[in-house]
Structure 1
Amino acid sequence: MNLDPQIAELITALDAGFPPVHTMTGAQARATIRSRLVPAVDPESVGTITEASVSVPEGRFAVRIYHPLTAATAAPAVVYAHGGGFVFCDLDSHDGLCRDLANRSQAVVVSVAYRLAPEHRWPTAAEDLYAAVSWTARHAESLGVDPGRIAVGGDSAGGNLATVAALMARDRGGPSLAAQLLIYPVIAADFDTPSHRAFGQGYYNPTTALQWYWDQYVPRVADRRHPHASPLVADLEGLPPAVVVLAGHDPLHDEGLAYADALRGAGVDVTQLSYPGGVHGFVTMPMLDLAQRARADVSREVARLLTSPAAL
């Protein structure tokens, strides 16, 4: 199994440039990552972009709503949680991905600025994403969304939040979800898997950083066994169909694969998209041909699930 050729050319620089977040505070890591964001000179056009806020008992958080260029009157929707280790990244860091996902999948994308750790510990981010899913369902008519065709999704830490929001929706009486999109998700605080041992150093997002993310979000080790922190230990029956994206050279590969297998074992329909040459985070690197292929594959499968008879 070899690295994708384009990634192989970049991996030394990518790895050397990854900030030592495990030596920083959350605020320092957030500022460092934010300072490296280079806005797109010519961002992809979408139909409309609007912003709103969602109120929760302890405050509020922002959402950004992307309508595709050609949207149906009652379009499907994807409520999306960005990655960033529960600590950093935001609506702007994932703006390009959300534009692309909206246009390719022909879905309204609701990007969620959930509250970040360590200022807001577990389970705040997961509760925020669930609140955003509920808000989207309540406001479906004004958003131009079909309430029967709402998916939840996310990458990396956002994939964890998406899995947990799906569990919450099942266990709390709704909203009913038509699909879940999990892009190299954070699933369990296990740092001794074969993929961690093989790819935990030298492949961009190192094990030391992944451990630090858990320390910021779920510092109490006992809490990490809760299904709303590590969904691999949850009862997974009755969850919506899932699209699971795996990167071959990713410390999180094995836990993502284990989750896909556990979903199948619980009777959940799983579409597994594997990219052996990819590293963690590659889908948000639009200069890569592999990222463009993965985005096309993901959008096609999400659109299929959101237009299937079960979702109508």
Structure 2
Amino acid sequence: MELLIILLAVLTVFVVMAFYYEHPKAEIPHGIHQRQKLYLFHYCLNFAFGLAKFLEKVGITSEIYFLRTLMDGIPPLRDKNLCIKDLRFEDVEVRIYQPKGSTTGQRRGVVYFHGGVGLFGSIRAYERKCRYLARKTDSVVVSVGYRLAPEHPYPTQFEDCLTATIHFMRTAENYGVDPSRVIICGDSSGGTLTAAVAQALVNRTDLPKLRAQILIYPFLQVVDFNLPSYQQNEGVPILLKERTLTLGLRYLNKDLSVVEAIFKGCHIPEDLQLKYQKWVSPDYIPHEFKARGYKPFTTHPFSEELYTLVKTVFSPVFAPLLAEDSVIAQLPEAFILTCEFDVLRDDGLLYKKRLEDHGIKVTWCHLQQGFHGTVFLSLLGGVVAFRSGNKGLAKILDFLRSM
């Protein structure tokens, strides 16, 4: 009985910790369907973050290791329709999913980069998603197990993804894939990596051209954290505004005390402000996306010290929206998915505009009731699936089948 009381007391502490871990509190707009389900998921996520911090403080395990273990979850059962192999492309771990059965001609190939801000995520965490894509589109899918920070500092993650992609493009026929039908794909920070890899390949004459790139609610810029989507959705789970930058700085191993100064725009020198405003500006966000509220923001005085500390964030590898026009103009066809209730919505809208301004074909899917992570959650199925995510999945499958 006493043990039970102690366990209940400890659980109560964790519950309180979970409710107060995030600030500001979650804001679930009425435009999101299944609002109570999202609130419950947000609570569980906060509980996990709070518990991870507690376990690290008492010396049981590290916060990052605990969260990674939770994300990995329970692996699915064997799949009789797929041949699944763990391989290495150069020094990069990959898992390849090949549909069984014959096909007329060579299949398309999909190279997938998982999300997780370069800190979390794994091949195992994305097992269901990659199996689903392989089965539903009769594609050969390569899931890239790039190394994670902080053990492997940025830009190791980009370098691993680029290495794996190049290796696959050179050896695609060995896996029954048409080299001219290779598509790269990723969600969230995996979308960042997808855009960066596509940009890195534009001048490679020794490789086939990428067929397409699929960006699922990607993070793409660090110039303006006060775009309409950041203002409207700063408290919407699962990617709150503060969490976006905090995790990004942890990925880069930077001091978290600079978060507020970056939100105020103090990290950008005047010459870069003038350069980037051609590509990153609320003026380029269509009016209908400002209807839920937007107030123009005035940046604060520039800090040379802050710029020196964080200038890495302006690299197109970290912020692909800041790539030069000469690179953007050579990119392959794109599919971009955005969600209305996502702080990263306007990153996707601005990248869509840049691509289209240079004549690049873009297939755009906007989930009006969607939020960041909705597609990933829907792939888990069951009670955690959201209708908006199912719609996004269907659009992704349609795009892949058209390639």
Same fold (TM over 0.5): yes
Aligned pairs for 1:9-20 within 5 A: 9-19=36-46, 20=49
Aligned pairs for 1:82-93 within 5 A: 82-93=114-125
The structure-2 alpha-carbon separation of the partners of 1:201 and 1:130, relative to structure 1 and needing over 3 Å to count, comes to: same
TM-score (norm 2): 0.69
- Preserved contact between residue 245 and residue 274 of structure 1 (Cα < 8 Å): yes
User: Please, which of 210, 215, 225 is the counterpart of residue 182 of structure 1?
Assistant: 215
**Deviation at residue 268 of structure 1 after TM alignment:** 0.8
Q: In the alignment, is residue 109 of structure 1 matched against residue 109 of structure 2?
A: no
The structure-2 alpha-carbon separation of the partners of 1:45 and 1:96, relative to structure 1 and needing over 3 Å to count, comes to: farther
- Preserved contact between residue 104 and residue 296 of structure 1 (Cα < 8 Å): no
Secondary structure at the counterpart of residue 227 of structure 1: coil
* Structure 1, unaligned runs of 5 or more: 307-312
What letter is aligned with 2:370? Answer: G
- Preserved contact between residue 72 and residue 121 of structure 2 (Cα < 8 Å): no
- Preserved contact between residue 71 and residue 121 of structure 2 (Cα < 8 Å): no
**Deviation at residue 260 of structure 1 after TM alignment:** 1.1
Q: In the alignment, is residue 205 of structure 1 matched against residue 239 of structure 2?
A: yes
Q: In the alignment, is residue 240 of structure 1 matched against residue 332 of structure 2?
A: yes
Q: Number of residue pairs matched?
A: 299
2:273 maps to: none
Which protein is bigger by CA-based radius of gyration? Answer: 2
* Structure 2, unaligned runs of 5 or more: 1-28, 255-308, 379-384
- Preserved contact between residue 220 and residue 321 of structure 2 (Cα < 8 Å): yes
Q: In the alignment, is residue 61 of structure 1 matched against residue 92 of structure 2?
A: yes
User: Please, which of 286, 291, 301 is the counterpart of residue 389 of structure 2?
Assistant: 291
**Deviation at residue 157 of structure 1 after TM alignment:** 0.3
Q: How high is the sequence identity, in percent, across the aligned residues?
A: 29
The structure-2 alpha-carbon separation of the partners of 1:295 and 1:68, relative to structure 1 and needing over 3 Å to count, comes to: farther
- Preserved contact between residue 151 and residue 178 of structure 1 (Cα < 8 Å): yes
Secondary structure at the counterpart of residue 163 of structure 1: helix
User: Please, which of 37, 49, 67 is the counterpart of residue 32 of structure 1?
Assistant: 67
Separation in structure 2 between the aligned mates of residue 44 and residue 138 of structure 1, nearest angstrom:
28
Separation in structure 1 between the aligned mates of residue 343 and residue 248 of structure 2, nearest angstrom:
14
Separation in structure 1 between the aligned mates of residue 80 and residue 226 of structure 2, nearest angstrom:
43
Structure (1/2) with the larger strand percentage: 1
What letter is aligned with 2:162? Answer: Y
Structure (1/2) with the larger helix percentage: 2
Aligned pairs for 1:261-272 within 5 A: 261-272=353-364
**Deviation at residue 265 of structure 1 after TM alignment:** 1.1
User: Please, which of 92, 107, 111 is the counterpart of residue 79 of structure 1?
Assistant: 111
Q: Deviations over 1:211-247 (max 9, x none)?
A: 1232133345211112222111113011000000111
Aligned pairs for 1:72-221 within 5 A: 72=103, 73-173=105-205, 174-189=207-222, 190-218=224-252, 219=254, 220-221=309-310
1:258 maps to: 350
TM-score (norm 1): 0.88
Ranked by relative contact order (alpha carbons within 8 Å, sequence separation 6 or more), the top structure is 1
The structure-2 alpha-carbon separation of the partners of 1:196 and 1:237, relative to structure 1 and needing over 3 Å to count, comes to: same
Q: Deviations over 1:172-198 (max 9, x none)?
A: 333410000100011112422221222
Separation in structure 2 between the aligned mates of residue 36 and residue 139 of structure 1, nearest angstrom:
31
**Deviation at residue 94 of structure 1 after TM alignment:** 0.9
The structure-2 alpha-carbon separation of the partners of 1:296 and 1:71, relative to structure 1 and needing over 3 Å to count, comes to: farther
The structure-2 alpha-carbon separation of the partners of 1:171 and 1:118, relative to structure 1 and needing over 3 Å to count, comes to: farther
**Deviation at residue 128 of structure 1 after TM alignment:** 1.1
